[in-house]
Structure 1
Amino acid sequence: MQLLFTILLDGLVYASYLFIVAAGLTIIFGVMKILNVAHGGFYAWGAYTAAYFIGAASEMGLPDWFAFLIIAGSALAVGIVLGLLIERIVLRRLYDHEEILIVLATFGVFLILEDLILLIFGVNPYFAYQPMVALGSVEMGGIFRDVYSLTLFGVALLVAAGSWWMLTRTRWGKLITAVIHDREMALIVGINVRRLFVVTFCAGAVLGALGGAYIAPTVSVAPGFAVDVIVLSFAVVVIGGMGSIPGALIGALLVGLLRALAVHKLPELELFVIFLVMSAVLIVRPEGLFAPAKARKI
């Protein structure tokens, strides 16, 4: 029973931060139809920025709770700055080109962002443990868990609720829905599609950076650590359906729970199990479990 509870808890924690990253990825694809490989760069930059400034704040004697403001600020700064730069310098020139060219361009951007991390932050790992220490630990099911990791549940729920509210209850959501279903018609009726693309890309970038910034206190932030996360985020999005927030949530839960089960019972099959499920989903439903319905054009 204790092992089952541990697997469930580990799976939910892992699923929470995977969902945060995958939500940004699926929002960008749903609106812009761009498979953004550079999303891993947003994750890595969010983690490094948060870890660096949390360490600097600790050396300055600032209270540990200040680290949470740093995490939020790092996600916003990285997402907005990098999102604006990449959209204006790279993507804006490629909207009318083949999708494969955009994928290759974002992959090149990802490599550039990884190299810039080495130039700016160096090759040594960063340890931003202060927020975990500040929140302490709690006993659950006979084992002690750090409270900080459990707060990922709340962050993931806020992201899910905020995304749902924005897409279904706001004017921006209605504009986004119009662009998703028929970009040409949206242009004809006067919707500023380019501005909508900028806002969407920056919002997705902020979520990618938030995933990295929030997970930074729980891991060793080192070069190359974003590769595994972006691969698993793609798996989440593919399983749930490209462009679907509910799909990303269900996909993250499946991946998180399966990974936790494999880690505890069959660690040698950790990645195999995830991609086996992804392959099975693609065979049965090539568009994913919860792919958004496409408008029928007459």
Structure 2
Amino acid sequence: METALIILTDGLVYASWLFLISAGLTLIYGVLRILNLAHGSLYALGAYAAASVVLVYFDRGLWPLGSYLALLGAALVVGAVAGPLIERGLLRWIYGRDPVYQLLATYALFLILEDLMKLVWGVNPYYAYKPYGLLGIVQLGGIPYPGYSFLLLGVALLAGGSLYLFIHSTRIGRLVVAMIHDPEISAAMGVNVPRVSLLTFTLGAVLAALGGAFTAPMISVVPGLSVEVIVLAFAVVVIGGLGSLEGSAAGALLVGLVRSLMVHRIPALELFAIYLVMAMVLLLRPHGLFGMEEVRRV
């Protein structure tokens, strides 16, 4: 029983981390129809910015619990600055182009951002661990867990709930849904497509940076952080279905639980199990668990 509880808890915490990253990726694809290979770099930018802010924050002896607001602020700033710059500066020139051009352009952006982060932060690791220990240890069924893990779970639930309400309960959200279904008809009906595209990409960038910011206290922030993240994020959105936020949540939960089970039972198969699940889902449902078949325009 205790082992099952550990597996479930670890799986939920890992799934919350995956959801924060993959939700932005699938939202961007759903509206803009672009597979953004630089999405992992936005995650890494959020992690680096958050680590830098937290280190300065504690050096000045400020209120410790306020560091969580500092993490949130760093993520919002990264998303609000990097999102519009990338969307206006690059992506708007490649909308509707062949997917190969889009992949090459976003891959080039990924390489540029990787080198830019090395120029700004160097190649040495950043350790912003202090927020991780502030919440102490939580006893769950007699098993000690760091309280910060549940904060990450809460951030994912809050972000997912807010995103759901934004999409389904606001006028702008309904415009986003309309563009997901048919951007050409939406434009013909008077929707300001460039503005909605900018808002969508910025929101996706904020989600990626949010995942990086709240992960920073749990890891050492080092160059190359974005590579593993983007691979896992693609696995999640492919399993859930490209463009489906519900699929992103389901894919993150499935991957989180499978990965946790393998870590505790057969550690050597941790990554293999994730991609085995992806292969099996694609064999049974080529468009993912919640994905819909798209009509290809020629």
Distance 1:208 1:292 in 2: 24
* Letter paired with 1:265: R
Matched, 1:144 2:175: no
Unaligned runs of 5+ in 2: none
Contact preservation (8 Å) 1:163, 1:245:
no
Q: TM-score, normalised by structure 1?
A: 0.96
Shift of 1:148: 0.8
Contact preservation (8 Å) 2:37, 2:106:
yes
Aligned to 1:125, the other structure's residue is in SS state: coil
* Letter paired with 2:2: Q
Matched with 1:216 is 216
Distance 2:231 2:257 in 1: 17
Distance 2:269 2:295 in 1: 40
Matched with 1:174 is 174
Deviations 1:249-286 (A, max 9, x none): 11001101111111111111111100011001001111
Distance 2:90 2:296 in 1: 32
Distance 1:18 1:249 in 2: 9
Distance 1:295 1:90 in 2: 26
Distance 1:225 1:20 in 2: 16
Taking only aligned residues, the RMSD between alpha carbons, in angstroms, comes to 1.6
Aligned to 1:144, the other structure's residue is in SS state: strand
Distance 1:96 1:3 in 2: 49
* Letter paired with 2:227: V
Matched with 1:105 is 105
Distance 1:266 1:201 in 2: 38
Matched with 2:132 is 132
Matched with 1:153 is 153
Give the 5 Å matches for 1:234-273: 234-273=234-273
Deviations 1:194-214 (A, max 9, x none): 111000000000000000001
Contact preservation (8 Å) 2:127, 2:219:
yes
Shift of 1:142: 2.3
Matched with 2:79 is 79
Distance 2:295 2:64 in 1: 50
Matched with 2:94 is 94
Matched with 1:62 is 62
Contact preservation (8 Å) 2:168, 2:174:
yes
Equivalent pairs, count: 297
Shift of 1:138: 1.4
* Letter paired with 2:69: L
Unaligned runs of 5+ in 1: none
Alignment CA distance shift 1:162-1:263 (3 Å): same
Matched, 1:202 2:205: no
Shift of 1:296: 12
Deviations 1:20-61 (A, max 9, x none): 110000100011111011110100000010011101111111
Contact preservation (8 Å) 2:19, 2:252:
yes
Deviations 1:170-220 (A, max 9, x none): 101211122122211211121110111000000000000000001111111
Distance 2:146 2:172 in 1: 38
Shift of 1:294: 5.9
Matched with 2:36 is 36
* Letter paired with 2:52: Y
Alignment CA distance shift 1:296-1:231 (3 Å): closer
Distance 2:293 2:191 in 1: 22
Distance 1:295 1:107 in 2: 26
Quick check: 57-66 or 199-208, which moved more? 57-66
Shift of 1:111: 1.2
* Letter paired with 1:29: Y
Aligned to 1:126, the other structure's residue is in SS state: coil
Contact preservation (8 Å) 2:287, 2:293:
no
Matched with 1:123 is 123
Contact preservation (8 Å) 1:181, 1:294:
no
Aligned to 2:138, the other structure's residue is in SS state: strand
Matched with 1:8 is 8
Alignment CA distance shift 1:163-1:292 (3 Å): farther
Deviations 1:59-97 (A, max 9, x none): 111121121111111111111111111111111111132
Distance 2:83 2:228 in 1: 21
Contact preservation (8 Å) 1:181, 1:295:
no
Aligned to 1:65, the other structure's residue is in SS state: helix
Percent identity, aligned pairs only? Answer: 53
Quick check: 248-257 or 168-177, which moved more? 168-177
* Letter paired with 1:132: Y
